[in-house]
Amino acid sequence: MNTAISLSDRENIGPVNLDHLMVELDRYRRQSEWLKQVNELHGRLAGATDLQGMIEAFSVWLMPLVEHDLIAYRSLDRSRVHIICSCHGPDRRLAMQTAEEVFEKIDCQLDGSCCEWGPFFVQQWQMSFGADSAAVNEACLMLLRRGTCIETEEAKILGDALEILGEPLQRALMYEDLFAQARRDMLTGLDNRRVFEERIGSMLETARRHNRPITVASMDLDHFKQINDTLGHAAGDNALQMVAKTLTGMVRNSDLLVRMGGDEFVLVLPDTALEPARLLAERLCSAVDGLELNAADGSRLGVSIGLVQWNPEMSKDEWLQRADEVLYQAKKTGRCRVCVEEA
């Protein structure tokens, strides 16, 4: 489009019309530049699938338009936090600390107003997801930078950009939910076999590299079939949920507790030799027995456990097979007990 205006054109147009025309041309130029920026933002967001990658892509796109030291996303239920910080060294630690402090006040100043917090200026927006007016506000997005407040023109850019960001963020949240569901047992909330297969190799490699003990507990519920058969599947599901909750409350965050399927569970205990593993397993047996879940024929739900400590000469499959064999011995010798494979 040729925007040059000749001298004769200027004379014909007149000063008032010319001023109006120049304003319109400038508006079209700004719109064109913004459309280019929007297309670039869509391209960057399309290349990211998870929430962390999407926030990072947004930060990279935004930096030439609105300089910032940190962008952070936090769901209002505090289940998801993603922080992208461009600072380094002590400045990075200070920025991250400031973001955490501001997030503790997450119910305040979510209207996009700029406030001063130590050496930084902070601006937060409450974000909602959904296609209608009934959508629930679900998240907070924070921008933090040192030294200068967010100017009016920058705030407008951010506001327009957040409208674009909303739909891709919702897509990323759905992706993460589906990914989490694929790795979690839906009945008990425990990790499933897929997570076990993903993690067990690195756990064994860490034990090998640092010469640290690691023990596996193969667990199978006793008299679970009687509860299912005499009280119904709903009672069986409730029993599994109660057992899972009990076990979860007694293990460490570093342990790997998995429902392998049916009434079979596996507990991997890193940095744990056979004797402390045995003491824990006996407490687990007592705790499950203490649930006092009885079938209609009077049989009580319990758990049998087989323990084997790994050594570097064992393959993963051999280790797990031995644990299953020791579990079978616990079943054979009376149930609701712990059997150990001695070194």
CB atoms within 10 A of CB 167: 12
What pLDDT is recorded for position 130?
56
Tell me how far apart the alpha carbons of residues 263 and 227 are, in angstroms, rounded to a whole number.
12
- 1-48 per-position pLDDT tens digit: 444 555 455 455 555 577 777 777 777 777 788 889 889 999 998 888
Q: Delimit the domains of the chain by residue range.
A: 47-182, 193-340
- Sequence-distant (≥ 6) Cβ neighbours of residue 212 within 8 angstroms: 206, 270, 271
Query: Is there a catalytic annotation at residue 263?
Result: yes
Name the residue among 83, 159, 167 with its Cα closest to residue 131.
Answer: 167
Same fold, 47-182 and 193-340: no
- 222-259 per-position pLDDT tens digit: 999 999 999 999 999 999 999 999 999 999 989 999 99
Give, in order, the Cα–Cα distances in Å from 321 to each of 91, 306, 327. 51, 11, 10
What pLDDT is recorded for position 106?
57
Please tell me which residue in 50, 263, 297, 317 is annotated as part of the active site. Answer: 263
pTM: 0.60
Judged on CB neighbours under 10 Å (0-12, 13-18, 19+), 146 is middle
Residue 129 has pLDDT above 70, yes or no: no
Q: What is the 3-state secondary structure (H, E, C) of 265-312?
A: EEEEEECCCHHHHHHHHHHHHHHHHCCCCECCCCCECEEEEEEEECCC
- 161-170 per-position pLDDT tens digit: 988 888 888 8
Task: Tell me the percentage of the chain whose pLDDT exceeds 90.
Answer: 55
What pLDDT is recorded for position 1?
46
Tell me how far apart the alpha carbons of residues 343 and 341 are, in angstroms, rounded to a whole number.
6
Top-level class of domain 47-182: alpha beta
Phi, psi of 293, rounded to the nearest 5 degrees: -95, 110
Give, in order, the Cα–Cα distances in Å from 281 to each of 57, 72, 130, 156. 47, 42, 47, 60
Tell me the sheet residues that pair with 16.
none
Angle at 23 between CA 18 and CA 26, to 5 degrees: 125
Q: What's the CATH number of domain 193-340, 3.40.50.620, 1.10.540.10, 3.30.1110.20, 3.30.70.270?
A: 3.30.70.270
Tell me the two tokens of residue 316: 């993963």
In which band, very low, low, confident or very high, does the pLDDT at 51 lie, cut at 50, 70 and 90?
confident
- Do 74 and 106 meet the contact criterion of CB atoms below 8 Å apart? yes
What pLDDT is recorded for position 134?
45
What pLDDT is recorded for position 291?
95
